[in-house]
Each structure stands twice: as structure tokens, then as C-alpha cells.
Amino acid sequence: MSLSGRLRRPGLRSRATAAFALGAALVAGVLAGATYGIVHHYLLAQRVSSVENEAFSDARVVKETLAASPNSPVSGSLSSVMPGKGTRSLVYRDGTWYSTSVNVGNQNLPTSLVDQVLSGNPAIQRTLIAGTPMLAIGMPVPAVSADYFEIHSLADLQTTFDILGLVLVLGAASITMGGALVGRWASGHLVQPLRGVTAVAAEIGAGDLTRRLPTTADRDLDPLVTSFNDMVTSLHERIERDARFTSDVSHELRSPLTAVQASVELLALFRGFLPPEGTRALGLVEQETSRFSETLENLLEISRMDAGAADLILEELQIGELVENAVSSYPHGPVPVVADAPASVTVIHCDRRRMQSVLTNLLDNARIHGGGATSVSIATLDHRATITVEDAGPGVPAGERSKIFERFYRGRTATRRNEQTGSGLGLALVAENVRAHNGRVWVEDRTGGGSRFVVSLPFGSDIADAGPGSPAEGGHR
């Protein structure tokens, strides 16, 4: 199997569902991202503003405490600060660092922030301490020759952001799933009319050219329905016209052909009086006249089938008896028939004359193109009877196995003049007759070389209940 066969393009409904899902995902993603960004910016700005106010207030307390008692220790002034939960305060004075916590010191402050504050400018910066997000702020207190710093924990804010992100992701996933469900539902309604078109087209393809699409009030579908029905009507008329033309031509040719045959038969009575060249010419005319007559009869038969005038005369026949009679009456030598007892007594509903024509044409095909039939076998499987005609010829190439059932088709193995003794309609007539019996016919390779032409027919019920058959299926059952 080719790569393109394995990676088949998804169907229309699947593509529509995917489009709805992707659209919903895109919209939900944009909204979730925008919501997260706005909320993140707003809450962080609020926290920064709150931290700045708290830090300025605490720095003022340190300043007032140190100014009131210049010789008191700095640690004492820090104890007068009442920081919030998760907040640590630090003071840098006279080259010494003081902190309210033994676990947090100047080493936890960003170097760039410390340098900026020591240069006389306040600064604020986010940082990580032991994997926890923190907000560090510092400001100079020149009145007491000190610098004040605070570190505020952002763990609670980060938790809020994580919960918000999870909620938004779940919401976006739910919207995407909802979009896929809506897309599936909407695409189902959209393709519903196409299912009707497909069903009618299948019936038309099976040969019922009287089927039409029902009219609709949908202004979008009405042009499709009208065009489809007009196309089928034109096709039906064209097929009927071609069938009438073939039938008329065939009937018109019958009279002159009869006159030619009578003349040839009369000339044959005087064959002994003709010179050698005349004898050879007469033999050629007899051969070509016979082939022309066979082609004409086949054309008339096919034209009657195309016109629907070829009624089946159904009988209940044992398939073994049918095959034996057809093979034994074949004028070009005996062909062995192979069948087990259950298969040979299987009863099928068929037209005796048409099925004998099928077997005769298959035997002729094997004689002309395969050196003669080697065997005819009968078998039964799954309420179907199969008749197989085998030959030991060159076989049929895989690319021609369906084409050989077309009218007047000649394969590459039948291009020489001495191999063109058939009418070119034998296998086409086989396909038409088998299809009329709701059967199937195909060709496949024979073990050891050659071809196997297989005819599969329903049994156990009337042909009308057996379901439609395919005229030719190359290489498979």
C-alpha cells in the first residue's frame, strides 16, 4: 500500500469538526491568555503598590527611631518595625548589615538592586529565594546615614496565578470540546443532503436511471439538485439514443449480411471449380462473414439488454447439469469438469440459454487467447455458486483485468491478426449476462500460469432477492 493510501485525507465531516474545534481553541486561547495577562498585571501592580507603601512606612519608623536615639543599636530600631507575614527587613549602616531574620540576609538581595540603593536611588525588583518568588525593595535613608531594605513573599500571589491559569486552561479545553461537539452536530446537518445525493447516485450507478433527487426549498441546494437531475436525464437520453442507434444499425445490417451469407454458401457449392487463389479468397470470406455474423448477433443481444428488452426466463436448474450440458455441447474438443457432489446438485435460478452463452464465451476466450480451457470447476461458498474456467495461456495483466470485460476491448496479448478471430464482444456479453443474474465475474491468475475466469452466482433465493452484482471485479472475490 502506498503512503498516500495509508495517509488518507479526512472526510468532509471530520474536517468541519476539526475546523470548529480549532476555531474554538483559538478564541478560547486568546481570551484565556488575555484574561491571564490582565489579571496578572493588575494583581502584581496592586501588590507592588502595597509593598512600596509598606516599605516607605517602615523606613520612616526606622528613621525616626534612629534619629531619636542616635547611639542606640540598629537592631533595636528594626524591632520597632512590624512587617507583614512573610516580610523580612534589613538595614545597612556603617558597612554592617542588620536583619530581622537569621535566614534572610544581604546575600538574598539582588546585587543590582543593592548597588542602585547604595548609590542613593530607591529600587524594587522581583527575585527567587529558595524557589519562592519574592519582591525586594530598597530605599536610602540619608538622614540617619542608612539604607533600608524589605523582602516580601509573593507565594500567595503565585498560588493565585497558578489557580487562575489552571481554571483558564480547563475553561479553554472545555470550550474547545464544546466547539468540536457543535462542529460535529452542525457538520452532520450539513452533509445530510449529500448522503441523499450519494444514495441516489449509487442507485443510478447500479443502472436505475429513473432515480432523481427530490426537489428542495433550500435555495443553496436547489441548484445542485436541479443540475444533478438534468445531468441524469441527459445521460439517460444519451444511453437510450445510443442503444437505439446500435439496435437499428444491427437490424439494418442483418438483411445485407443474410444476402452475403447466401451468396457465400452458393459459391461454396462451386469450390471445386475455383482456382487455388479463389479457394483461399472464398475461405477468407467465409471466415470473416461468420465472424461478422457473430459480432452482429452479440450486438443485437447487448442492445436488447441496454434497452431493457432482454427478459430473463428463469428456471430452477442444477448447476452441475447446466455446466455439463454446456461443456459437452462445446464443438472444440472436450474439457474436464471438476465438481464435488454437493456443489454439482446445487439449484440456482437462472436463464438456461444465457448461462450456456456465458460458458461458451468463456470457453471460446480460453481457446482463442489461452490455448484452450484446461478445466471447468464448480464450487459453493456462502450461498453463492462459482463456476471457474481455467486455461494455461499467458494470463491477463493486472491492469487489464477489468478492461477485458468492456465492449470491443483487445488486450496487448491479442494484437496479432491470427489472434483476432473473436468478435470482441464475448466477455462484454458474459459480464452483461452475469450482471442480469445479480452475479459477479472476474479474472485472476491461475496457479502454475494462465488465467482463471470466475463466475459467482447467488443461490438459495430468487435472483431478485440476491442483491445487485458487479459486472466485473478484477482479481478478487
Amino acid 7: pLDDT: 56
Number of compact structural domains in the chain: 3
Is residue 324 in a domain?
yes
- Judgement on whether residues 321 and 300 belong to the same structural domain of the protein: no
Which CATH number fits the domain that encloses residue 241? 1.10.287.130
- Judgement on whether residues 320 and 446 belong to the same structural domain of the protein: yes
- Judgement on whether residues 150 and 289 belong to the same structural domain of the protein: no
Query: What distance in Å separates the CA atoms of residue 206 and residue 89, rounded to the nearest whole number?
Result: 89
User: Rounded to a whole number, what is the largest CA-CA distance in the chain?
Assistant: 158
Structural domain including 25 reads 12-161
Amino acid 477: pLDDT: 33
Amino acid 411: pLDDT: 64
- Judgement on whether residues 455 and 319 belong to the same structural domain of the protein: yes
Measuring CA to CA, how many Å separate 324 from each of 15, 224, 317, 328, 390?
A: 57, 53, 12, 6, 16
Is residue 265 in a domain?
yes
Whether residue 363 contacts residue 389, with contact meaning beta carbons closer than 8 Å, is answered with: yes
Give the number of other CB atoms < 10 A from CB of residue 313. Answer: 9
- Judgement on whether residues 231 and 125 belong to the same structural domain of the protein: no
- Judgement on whether residues 249 and 124 belong to the same structural domain of the protein: no
Amino acid 308: pLDDT: 63
Kindly provide the b/e burial profile for residues 227-236, where b requires at least 16 CB atoms within 10 angstroms of the residue's own CB: ebbeebeeee
User: Residue 265, class by beta-carbon neighbours within 10 Å (0-12 exposed, 13-18 middle, 19+ buried)?
Assistant: exposed
Could you list the pLDDT tens digit for every one of the 477 residues in the chain?
444 545 567 777 788 888 889 999 999 999 999 999 999 999 999 999 988 888 888 888 888 888 877 777 777 777 777 666 778 888 888 888 888 877 777 888 888 999 999 998 999 999 888 888 989 999 998 888 889 998 888 988 999 999 999 999 999 999 999 999 988 888 887 777 777 777 888 887 776 777 888 877 777 777 878 888 888 888 878 877 777 776 677 677 777 878 877 887 888 888 888 888 888 888 888 878 877 777 777 777 777 776 666 677 888 999 999 999 999 999 888 899 998 878 888 888 888 989 998 999 999 889 888 888 999 999 988 788 999 999 988 888 888 888 888 887 776 555 444 444 556 788 888 998 898 888 999 999 998 889 999 999 988 654 444 444 444 444 333
Is residue 207 in a domain?
no
Which CATH number fits the domain that encloses residue 130? 3.30.450.20
Amino acid 307: pLDDT: 64
From 261, 283, 306, the end of a domain falls on: 306
Amino acid 1: pLDDT: 44
Is residue 187 in a domain?
no
- Judgement on whether residues 346 and 373 belong to the same structural domain of the protein: yes
- Judgement on whether residues 263 and 154 belong to the same structural domain of the protein: no
Measuring CA to CA, how many Å separate 91 from each of 49, 59, 104, 143, 179?
A: 21, 9, 12, 14, 57
Is residue 473 in a domain?
no
Amino acid 218: pLDDT: 74
DSSP 372: S
Amino acid 471: pLDDT: 41
Give the number of other CB atoms < 10 A from CB of residue 225. Answer: 19
**For residue 68, what are the contacts with CB-CB under 8 A and spacing of at least 6?**
none
Is residue 116 in a domain?
yes
- Judgement on whether residues 438 and 360 belong to the same structural domain of the protein: yes
- Judgement on whether residues 457 and 379 belong to the same structural domain of the protein: yes
User: Residue 286, class by beta-carbon neighbours within 10 Å (0-12 exposed, 13-18 middle, 19+ buried)?
Assistant: middle
- Judgement on whether residues 359 and 453 belong to the same structural domain of the protein: yes
Q: Which of 452, 454, 450, 410 is nearest to 431 (CA)?
A: 454
- Judgement on whether residues 105 and 131 belong to the same structural domain of the protein: yes
From 283, 306, 329, the end of a domain falls on: 306
Which CATH number fits the domain that encloses residue 419? 3.30.565.10
From 256, 274, 306, the end of a domain falls on: 306
- All three cell numbers of 149: 531594605
Is residue 81 in a domain?
yes
Is residue 40 in a domain?
yes
